[in-house]
């Protein structure tokens, strides 16, 4: 993580008119703190003409030490995949209900960012995934994922037949609606709704979670983050692979999807006193007696 937060990128939720007011309020506050403010082109289109320089996401990655994302968890997922290779720290501000990743409310945004500038924060390194589709000897597609890489059936609705291997060793053949390879962060996303375990984000592991398997003995399994997972499409009418639901590739029978831990971790900053377990209690209603 870059040591200085003298240059901060502000990124708003795409096509959200409500983002302009809090984003510009934060920009003015940062200016008073002698911080250089940059925004991305899509955010610039939302807030209109301002005095703040507009940079591409890749350029923001090179110039900024911190990015403040105002929106929701979906916005954070999309930005994370672009900025993680540049080792930019991310802070999430949620406009509505607090999320798993965007845990600062708009109401206390200024106070929290002020504390972060003063060094009062909790830092986390979150594991990411790199997925690649191979067709024979050819590389057809590759992408990053913060939550998960999902091989799933398409619009035709037929079950998939998949073969799963870990570090080259055969694990199982499976008939199911899909197979999720999730990071600890992604364990509270699609994998959770499919019966997968909740995994603490400090761990370096991957969870393999079947989606509606034909055989009930096909259960989720947690493996080391150092492993390589291969999923081979054996029989399917309309298969595809999704990366955080933000990008996808249409597969064919025989395609191999290889998933590994990405070489860079995503760095998240939380308010001082942040507790993962407290967040779970609130989001999953564990507070109720």
Q: How far from each other are the two terminal CA atoms of the chain, in whole angstroms? A: 41
Q: Which domain holds residue 176?
A: 129-261
In the structure encoding, which two tokens stand for residue 118, read together?
């003063």
Q: Which residues are catalytic, by number?
A: 73
What's the rounded Cα separation, in Å, for the pair 183 and 197? 11
Among candidates 23, 26, 21, which has minimal Cα distance to 113? 26
Please tell me the total count of domains within the chain.
2
User: Considering the domain boundaries, does residue 2 fall inside one?
Assistant: no
User: pTM of the predicted model, to two decimals?
Assistant: 0.93
User: Could you tell me how far CA 282 lies from the centroid of its own chain?
Assistant: 20
Is 93 among the domain residues?
yes
Residue 103 has pLDDT above 50, yes or no: yes
pLDDT given at position 198: 97
CATH number of the domain encompassing residue 76: 3.40.50.10330
Which domain CATH number covers 155?
2.60.200.30
What is the pLDDT, as a whole number, of residue 1?
Answer: 44
Whether residues 42 and 110 share a domain: the answer is yes
Q: Dihedral angle at the C-alpha atoms of 69, 75, 76, 80, nearest 10 degrees?
A: -110
Residue 92 sits in the same domain as residue 192: no
Closest CA to 117 of 22, 9, 8: 8
Q: What is the mean pLDDT of residues 250-255?
A: 96
Rounded percentage of the chain residues whose pLDDT exceeds 70: 98
pLDDT digit string, tens, across residues 160-203: 999 999 999 999 999 999 999 999 999 999 999 999 999 999 99
CB 127 within 8 A of CB 204: yes
**Across residues 145-151, what is the average pLDDT?**
97
Q: How big is the CA angle at 258 (ends 254 and 263), to the nearest 5 degrees?
A: 165
Considering the domain architecture, whether residues 179 and 207 belong to the same structural domain is answered as yes
| Within-domain flag for 289 | no
Residues 169 and 78 grouped into a single domain? no
């Amino acid at each position: 993580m870059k040591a200085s937060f003298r240059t901060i990128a502000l990124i708003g939720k795409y096509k959200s008119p409500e983002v302009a007011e809090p984003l510009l309020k934060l920009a003015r506050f940062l200016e008073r703190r002698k911080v250089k403010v940059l925004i991305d082109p899509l955010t610039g289109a939302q807030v209109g003409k301002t005095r703040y320089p507009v940079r591409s996401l890749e350029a923001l990655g090179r110039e900024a030490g911190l990015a403040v994302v105002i929106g929701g968890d979906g916005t954070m997922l999309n930005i994370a995949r672009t900025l993680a290779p540049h080792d930019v720290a991310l802070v999430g501000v949620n406009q509505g209900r607090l999320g798993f990743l965007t845990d600062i409310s708009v109401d206390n945004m200024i106070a929290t960012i002020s504390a972060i500038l003063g060094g009062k924060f909790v830092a986390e390194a979150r594991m990411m995934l790199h997925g690649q589709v191979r067709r024979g000897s050819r590389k057809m597609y590759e992408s990053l994922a913060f939550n998960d890489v999902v091989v799933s059936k398409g619009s035709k609705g037929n079950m998939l037949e998949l073969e799963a291997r870990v570090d080259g060793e055969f694990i199982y053949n499976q008939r199911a609606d899909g197979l999720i390879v999730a990071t600890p962060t992604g364990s509270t996303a699609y994998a959770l709704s499919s019966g997968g375990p909740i995994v603490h984000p400090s761990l370096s592991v991957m969870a393999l979670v079947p989606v509606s398997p034909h055989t009930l003995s096909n259960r989720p399994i947690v493996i080391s983050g150092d492993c390589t997972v291969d999923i081979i499409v054996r029989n399917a009418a309309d298969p595809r692979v999704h990366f955080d639901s933000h990008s996808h590739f249409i597969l064919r029978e025989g395609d191999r999807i290889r998933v590994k831990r990405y070489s860079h971790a995503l760095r998240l900053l939380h308010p001082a006193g942040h507790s993962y377990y407290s967040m779970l209690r609130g989001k999953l209603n564990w507070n109720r007696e």
